[in-house]
Amino acid sequence: MRSPLLLAVAIHALLSFAFNTAGRPDALIWEFAEKRAPAQDIVTWDEHSLFVKGERVLIFSGEFHPFRLPVPSLWLDVFQKVKALGFNCVSFYVHWALLEGKPGEFSAEGVFDFQPFFDAAQKAGIYLIARPGPYINAEVSGGGYPGWLARLRGGLRTVAPDYLNATNNYMTSICKIIADAQITNGGPVILLQPENEYTVANTYTPFPDASYMEYVIQQARDAGIVVPFISNDASPYGHNAPGTGLGEVEIYGHDGYPLGFDCAHPTVWPANNFPTTYRSNHLKQSPSTPFSIVEFQAGSFDPWGGWGFEQCSALVNHEFERVFYKNNYAVGVTIYNLYMIFGGTNWGNLGHPGGYTSYDYGSVIKEDRTVTREKYSELKLQATFLQSSPGYLTATPGSSSTSQYSDNADITITPLLANSTDDASFFVVRHTNYSSLASTQYRVTLPTSQGNLSIPQTTQSLSLNGRDSKVMVTDYDVQGTRLLYSTADIFTHVKQDDQTILILYAGADEYNEFAIEALGGSVKKIQGSSSFGVTSTNLSDFAMINWTANPEGSILQIGDSLFINLLDRNTAYNYWLTSIDGTDSKLIINGPYLVRSASIDADGLHIKADFNATTRVEIIGFPADATKLFVNDIETPVEVSGLTTAANVSLAHVSLATPTLADLDWKYVDSLPEIQAGYDDSLWTVADKTVTNNSFQSLVAPVSTFASDYGFHTGVLIYRGHFNATGYENSFSLYSQGGTGFAASIWLDDHLVSSYLGDPAEEGNGGKYDISGLPLDAGTEHVLTVVVENMGLNENYDPGYDEQKAPRGIVGWRLETSRATGTPITWKLTGNLGGEDYADRARGPLNEGGLFAERQGFHLPGAPTESWASHSPLEGIGVPGIGFYAASFDLDLPSDEWDIPLAFAFTNDTAASGAYRAQLYVNGWQFGKLSSNVGPQTVFPVPEGILDYNGPNYVAISLWALEQGGAKIPALELVAGTPVWTGREDVEVVLSPGWTERVGAY
């Protein structure tokens, strides 16, 4: 909701456009329009898919932002978990505001260095799609824009000269970094997306402005980008598609979030939200390029006051994946990126006001990097199948039908038909009512190389149970053996020496049927208890087998060398397909919590894997030249039984000694000395600008008090307003703005006038406050102190509105007298120490705000706490104000072998504790913002590397009591999740510079 003090946004946009078009560099932009010749031949494409180094590839990708996990040595861990899904790619945004906190000063060092990210991707065998913006949205502060852009008069995401010039240093710098990491230079980057969701704009902005997109593309080209450009239209509107002229990309892509973001109702799939026009849109908009979905829903954001990310994960769960993702396969997507695959954390104020510290997103990999959600396992089944099915890449999607292939109109089947009888066809089966919970019986008629076949060929029917979908195949190549058809889903197939292994799976107790080339070979069960039958048909070269899935599963042998594993879906979840490094061979491994890699060294097979319980590991395809098995470098005895080589991995009890935080020696210092008599604010910034360039908000007061006009863009803002009383002052009116969910407090001298407790639906708040009872004698000097919580800058989704410039801090005020006059106020303000000349280069420009303790650097390890009072945040403060608490503790955890999730858990009971805001600092890194009366987050995961698992740690908490009576934190614990015996590489502690006395701190 916009402030009632704002002037009409449309007028501002119109004036901004009129200003911007003066001196518009048309000649410069239009000369970019010459048709670009391909700049390289390593990444190419046709209408079906990408080719990389001449090989046709399916790009199955997930979104992962390195800036949301500021521990570079953990990036490989995430990449390996993505790779284990069957993915081969990751897409990443770049957050401009973290890299150019001050105009002209670009810095990408320490946790912001991209080289370790590129190195980890290559080590894991992952391609990268780079998305540097300059605008990214991404639920980050300003949509990735640095706050200093608010001082530009020109419209953002337009061809305003001052805006374009402001982007040049960043785009040149970041695109040079990305260019060096392109696959043409031996790196992992294969595609680049210019801009982001350039799809809609306000009425007064020419849109789409092809010259703007062309400018962004040329910035990247000039910096050395030669890989193809891909777009991500927010919806399939065809903007900037190939052939549209100026500003066109080489590969058109769009996004899709069909369920929206209603985590309050996770089981509701609204009518008409199912995508049914993707194929027809693609054929109209970009038929000569691969069908590309550059963002498809894999979770949901959640706002302040929301329902929490577990409900978001339930909204976009494993059933959503089955129905919606398989629908995307049905229309032939071959460049496919899921947003998010791993969300991470909005540490250090990097998030936008519509979200809290966690950016778990309900994604496939949880914020603490665990892979316990069922949606991870379901997605692994799907991605592994597609990567095992090269025929999918060239099959032609057809029209969905309720009658052509199925005998039941409640079932819809969409074909992807082969171009010849030597290739596979795919048939995606779903409920016609996509949200149906029914169990529906049906039969199918499918075209095969042996003619149209009615399936099952027995008298039984197939079933589709609830929110499910299946991919049936015909004439599918299983390592040279023809699978004529299968009604069950395929996981994968491999060939080891002279043996072929195929894995089929289905829902528990579901009846299925397949026919496979047998050439007279007998069919026998060699393991398991699943019931099966062999039916005689007139297909002389094929064995037709029906079976019912159960948890134990079965292995069938056909002839001498074909083996078929029949599994129920939950059992299939435990299977992994893993390449053996340096070879073309693959292993099928059953059992571990995660399989990271496999390699052969001398006579040993080495498996890197993770285990969360004692597990029997079964390996199919154990190399004939390996005689030993090493699991996480420990030799493990094996036994051979039929196809499988098995080993038992036993986990011993692991002791996790974590400190009791309530028992620590907490130290306390007042972090709001500004309300004390005699406080010296002579070093503060004076609010003296009588004009503003802000194109979103005009001045409604004699001077600007917009924080970004003075270089303060992050964290808590504090204002001190000096005035000489006339003796007649009786009310103070204030409009403050901090973003949705923000809080604010007003003091007159040391008296709390009022606090605004926050509302997740309001980004600003205005009020008129009675001060008539306070001692304001004529001629006396007084100070109004206003504390405003900056929740982050607004995103700038619609070009022309310039919402990123929505001010933070005080927007307008009036100190009114009983004589209907106003008493002048001289305002000073502060945010983080130094503003754009931020003090902490290691943690970046957004990590700290304007609290006294932050300006002094007391949130950093080694702060001079010896002279502070001993006082715990669990005792709190008994009056309104801001307290700052710090304590130290040691950890000694077996992290060389175990991955141990840790989190700080706050007990929240506003009725007992009072309304408050708290910030959590761990070794100087802000890893938590808690809003006691708004919620929802109370548990804050902190990764190893920020926490030193084998050394000293420093934790600090700011506690802002908003009401009379003060506030306290009811309870606080450091809690450990389930430890996982891990094959990951060691985690390095992130460089976390400690406290030194800050020059100029006030």
User: Residues 292, 333: contact at Cβ < 8 Å?
Assistant: yes
- Residue from 730, 785, 776 nearest 755 by CA: 785
Sheet (strand 542-548) strand order: 396-397, 411-417, 425-431, 469-478, 481-486, 511-517, 542-548, 532-535
The DSSP annotation for 805-829 comes to G---EEEEEEEEETTS-B---EEEE
Place of tokens 């037709």: 544
Q: How far apart are CA 67 and CA 499, in angstroms?
A: 45
What does DSSP say about strands 50-52 and 971-976: parallel, antiparallel, or unpaired? Answer: unpaired
Rounded Cα–Cα distance for residues 830 and 54 (Å): 57
To the query of whether residue 321 is one of the catalytic residues in this protein, the response is: no
Backbone dihedral region for residue 845 (phi beyond 0: left; psi -120 to 50: alpha; all else: beta): alpha
Residue 44 in tokens: 């190419």
What one-letter code names the amino acid at 971? A
Angle between helices 161-180 and 210-222 (to 10 degrees): 40
Residue 212 in 3-state DSSP? helix
What residue type is assigned to position 636 of the chain? Answer: T
Backbone dihedral angles phi then psi of residue 326, each to the nearest 5 degrees: -70, -30
- Cis status of the peptide bond prior to 134, with omega within 30 of 0: yes
The pair of structure tokens assigned to 365 is 């990999």
**DSSP type of residue 650:** P
Q: Cα dist. 781→726, 753, 814, 821 in Å? A: 10, 17, 17, 18
What is the sign, positive or negative, of the torsion defined by CA atoms of 485, 574, 364, 188? negative
Q: Which of 295, 795, 803, 854 is catalytic?
A: 295
Nearest residue to 913 (alpha-carbon basis) of 930, 929, 928, 933: 933
* Per-residue tokens: 458: 């027995």
Residues linked to residue 378 through DSSP beta bridges, in sequence order: none
CA-CA distance, 444 to 436, in Å (whole number)? 19
What value does the CA radius of gyration of the chain take, rounded to a whole number of Å?
A: 31
Distance CA 376, CA 394 (A): 27
> Angle at CA 563, nearest 5°, toward 558 and 567?
120
The contacts of residue 775 (CB under 8 Å, 6+ apart) are none
CA distance 335 to 60: 6
* Catalytically annotated residue among 63, 197, 250, 367: 197
Provide the 10 A C-beta neighbour count for residue 633.
Answer: 10
3-state secondary structure of 143: helix
Strands 335-342 and 292-297: parallel
CA 617 to chain centre: 32
Residue 197 among the catalytic residues: yes
Known catalytic residues are 197, 295
